[in-house]
Chains A and B, each alone.
Chain A
Amino acid sequence: MADLKPVPSVLEHTLQLRWSLPFLALLLALPLAAYSVGDTFYVGMATRVLVFALAASSLNLILGFGGMVSFGHAAFLGIGAYSVAILMQNGIASAWIAWPLAILLTALVSLLIGWVSLRTQGVYFIMITLAFAQMLYYLVISLKAYGGDDGLSLAARSSVGGGIDLSNDVHLYYLSLGALVMAMVFMVRLLNARFGHALQAIRENEVRMTALGFAVFRYKLAAFTLAGAVAGLAGVLFANLNGFVSPAMMQWSQSGMLMMMVILGGVGHLYGGVIGAIAFLLLEEFLSHYTMHWQLGLGAVLLAVVLFAPNGITSLLKRKASHD
């Protein structure tokens, strides 16, 4: 009898080391390459891509794997970033104190927002998450003590100690890369565990999962909070990268941009957020060299993806079918 290879389940995901390891090696070598050419600006740019990849992946967790269309994800980035900035303003520069606090606060806020929002469905869920994000946005604008509309500068990057100096762009780059790798490994373990299986099944058919006795609300809330916390980490890295935080990073159009990255990369795929962020930002950089009107090209590419490459998108969110 022939050896039967087990058919991989739809719910199983792998790190796809065959191509992801070489790619990782490339990323590790990037700063060295930049230095040899003498162009250190691109290390900062690459760090930006990595942090966006982290943020987009966190959104992918709930959007792609959980089927929750959250239009307020950028708010969590903002909370993480502002926490670090405000603590810095009050003299707390140590990453060991500021970063866990920022992530904890973001997790708390996302828990609260999720607790209220996840009681709604469909377009109402989208609107409620949007509303909460806008409320936070306006709240931050009103706090003139923290810069308000004009934003808040960080006096310096967070201090880590032990030979790591974040004011060196290369150190920040490797730290961000490390965070992204850890997040990916964590995500694949999560998705392959019972929690991840249940989450994806909920995405496919919520009613059936409820009938089967799963505490659907709790699973969704847990995923939502987790995604928020990871977004908070991305926000922390952003604050350090830019040295500046402003309410603009929490606007709904920023959430829209994150969603675009996830969809571009492939919803429901492990590396969807990473690929999407890289593609989106590279496209932006490339196109903006040629024309001031690069958003036109970007919009066209996006529209084409939506219209003609639907497989990544239609396979999820069959909520319409399960509702009518």
Chain B
Amino acid sequence: MKLHHTPTLKTLLAAALAVAALSATAQSTEPVKIGLLSTLSGPGAGLGIDIRDGFQLAIKLGGGKLGGRPAEVIIADDQASPDVGRQTADRLVKRDKVDFMTGVVFSNVMLAVGAPTFQSKTFYVSANAGPSQYAGDQCNPYFFSASWQNDNLHEAVGKTVMDKGYKKVALIAPNYPAGKDALTGFKRFYKGEVVSETYTQLTQLDYGAELSQLRASKPDAVYIFLPGGLGINFIKQFVGAGLSKDMTLFGPGFSGDEDVIKAVGEPMLGMFNTSQWAHDLDNAANKKFVAAFEKEFGRLPSLYAAQGYDAAKLIDAAVRDSKGKLDDKAAVRKALEAAKFDSVRGAFKFNVNHYPIQDYYLRVITKNAKGQITNRTIGTVFKNHADAYAGSCKMPS
């Protein structure tokens, strides 16, 4: 005699449908986990904080959702140390099992964070660091740069300095992967005389030695790539040593954006710099972003904030276009590569190596109508510019 009822076909079907429906709703309410690992302390903190703020603003404007699913952002500080960055990344991908990673500012940290992230098949959407290593023969299907490739902004300045006719230029950058990329990029387009190429320490804040060498070598222009606190200190000391009278200072957007302007102020007026974005760019997405950022944080956004914002919008588009099936890595990758979102810098598309092909603008630091010291866009240096390494990338499919 049977001691229990065997379920009829109808009941089975009903049960199966119920389970399927439940799991589908469970999937769509399950949050998208983002690991935002950035530099939130030390001289580089201003950059990380801007990226974080821009990223979180995008999520807030999207109702706390990414691609229709609630967003859970885990924020961590890499302290600008490759060591700490790698350990924290390990924890984020293995213990917290994040779906996307983002946020790293410095390329040396990026190279250390990359390995465990790609190994665990987690997608990395960069809101800043764009090392040349991942653009060429080490290009990786899990790496996407929502910002630029390290050389690009410097290439734009190189061309500008060349076009403006400066004959003798001194170069200064920190001694780490992005610093090397920077001066390589500058020299790719500047073909005049380079009187000196100096690499400083990434932790160095006192530039007395470099300044006296500049005084001795007498260039007519000085190109610096010194992001965040490094640039703040250098510019103050440069002006303090009286060198600004004899030499024109050039920098990429990193050394000429809101964070540096706020700390240095008047001495920066008239400095030229390049960027892939400016807050006065005339498109709908940007106008909305700048207004919302100013309202939320009481300050004008820097290019770091814009990059953080775009990174979030890109992830949002990817989650939406892959229909929330984040386990299907191929689908997410395709969605990321398509990049169907409204970037604040205007048109946005990826190259084969997952780095952007975009325009680069020339900006100058002036006083705006409200009397604030800020950047004004005065021209376009490159249109639809791709990085120099894409040719050697054989992206595995």
Contacts and interface: CB of A to CB of B under 8 A. Distances in A.
Contacts of A151: 82-83, 108, 112
A244 B176 contact: no
Contact of A246 (B83, B115, B177, B202): B83
Contacts of B23: none
Interface string B85-97: 0110011001100
B83 A153 contact: no
A151 B201 CA distance: 15
A150 B112 contact: yes
- For chain B, the bracket of interface size reads 20 to 34
Interface string A124-161: 00000000000000000000000011110100000000
Contacts of B176: 149-150
Nearest to B110: A150
Interface in A37-83: 39-41, 44
Contacts of B82: 150-151, 244, 246
B81 A41 contact: no
B111 interface: yes
A243 interface: yes
Interface string B65-106: 000000000000100011100110011001100000000000
B175 interface: yes
A60 to B, nearest CB: 25
A246 B85 CA distance: 12
Given A149-B176, A150-B108, A248 B115 contact: no
A246 B95 CA distance: 23
A149 B83 contact: no
Interface in B165-188: 175-177
A195 B356 CA distance: 66
Contacts of A39: 95
Given A44-B94, A149-B202, A150-B176, A243 B115 contact: yes
A249 interface: yes
Contact of A153 (B91, B115, B177, B202): B115
B133 to A, nearest CB: 11
15 contacts: A40-B94, A41-B94, A44-B90, A149-B108, A150-B82, A150-B176, A151-B83, A151-B108, A153-B111, A153-B115, A242-B86, A243-B116, A244-B82, A244-B83, A246-B112
Given A150-B108, A246-B81, 16 more contacts: A41-B91, A41-B94, A41-B95, A44-B94, A150-B82, A150-B112, A150-B177, A151-B82, A151-B83, A151-B108, A242-B87, A244-B112, A246-B82, A248-B81, A248-B83, A249-B83
